[in-house]
Structure 1
Amino acid sequence: MSRAGGVGDVDRAVGYVLKQAATVLRGAMETALRPMGMTVSQYACLELLDQRPGSSVADLARATFVTRQAMTGVLAGLQERGWVTRPALAPHGRALPATVTGEGRRRLGEASTAVARVQERMLAGLEPARRERLLADLQACVAALDPDAG
C-alpha cells in the first residue's frame, strides 16, 4: 500500500530503477576492467582526460562523481603507473593539468573496448531509435534537476 503523494511501488519508481541500473552497470564495468588492473574511476578519469585534455582535478571529480580528494588519489595512482603525467609546477595558477601518456592511451583503448561491450550488452534489447530516445530522456531528466547541466 502506498502513501498518497509517495513514489508508490519502488519497482515502478523511475528514480529507484535508474539507481538500480546505474549500480548494475558499474558492477559490470568493474568486472570488465578488473583483469586490466583498472577501476571504474581510473577508466573514467583516463577517458575524460583523453577527450578533454587539461581538465582540472575539480572538473574531473565532478565528471566522475567523486570528491576532489578522491580524484587527487586517482590521478596519483595513474601517474605512478605511468598512464598520466603532470607537471611539477603549475603553468598557470595552482592547477597541474594532467596528460594521458602513450601507455595510458594504450590501456584506455583496451578499457574503452571492454566498457563498450558492457554498454552494448545493456542496450542489446533496444532498437537504435529506442536507444536514442533513452539517451534523450535521460539527458532531459538531468537537465530538469541540474541547473548547471547543458
Structure 2
Amino acid sequence: MTGNDEDPVGAGALDRVTWALRRAELAVQTLKERRLRPLGLAASHYTLLISVHSEPGLTGAELARRLNVTPQAVASLVARLESRGQVERREHPRHRHVQELHLTEAGRETLRAADKAIADIELRIIEGLGLKESAQLRGLLDQVADVAREA
C-alpha cells in the first residue's frame, strides 16, 4: 500500500484479526483436505458426516442452515455420500414428505477414519502452540463467535 487517500483498503487491513482468522482457517482447511484425500473424502464430506452423527435425523434444509451453505449444496453432498452407502435418508415419522439423514455403518466407519485424521491435525496444532495457549485460543475464538453473533 502506498498510504494515499486512494487506497482501496484501510491502513493495516492485512493486520486485522478477521484477516488472521481467515488465513488460519484457509491453512487448516487446506491441511484437512490433504489429510482426508487418501480416504476419498473432502472436508465438506467430513463436516456433513460429523453433523449427521451429532444430530441424527437432521433434514437437508436444517443441515444447510447449520453449515451456512445452500440446500442444493447439501443435496449434492448427501447424494454423493448416499451413493457410497455412508448416509441414508429415512422418512420423518410424522411428516412423510420430510427426509431425515442418518449415518449407515459404512458412514460411521468412514467418520471414524476421517476423525482420526482431523484429531491428528488438532494434536499437531496443540503441540505447536502448547496446551495453555491452545486452551486460551479456543476461549478467544469462542468469544469472537459470541461477539460476531451479537453484532
Q: TM-score, normalization: structure 2?
A: 0.85
Q: Distance in 2 between matches of 1:109 and 1:2?
A: 53
Deviations 1:3-60, CA, capped at 9 Å, x for gaps: 8xx46251x3111111001011111000011111111111111011111111222332
User: How many pairs are equivalent?
Assistant: 145
Give the one of 28, 39, 47 matched to 1:36.
39
Q: Does 1:74 align with 2:77?
A: yes
| Runs of 4+ deviating beyond 4 Å | none
Q: Distance in 1 between matches of 2:26 and 2:68?
A: 13
Q: Distance in 2 between matches of 1:54 and 1:71?
A: 14
Structure 1 gaps, min length 5: none
Q: TM-score, normalization: structure 1?
A: 0.86
Q: Distance in 1 between matches of 2:4 and 2:47?
A: 38
State the AA in 1 paired with 2:40. G
Q: Distance in 1 between matches of 2:18 and 2:26?
A: 12
Aligned Cα RMSD in Å? Answer: 2.2
State the AA in 1 paired with 2:119. A
Q: What's 2:100 paired with?
A: 97
- Higher-Rg structure is 2
- 1:1-150 equivalent positions in 2, closer than 5 A: 1=3, 6=10, 8=12, 10=14, 12-87=15-90, 89-93=91-95, 94-147=97-150
Structure 2 gaps, min length 5: none
Offset at residue 63 of structure 1 (A): 3.0
Identity of aligned residues (%): 29
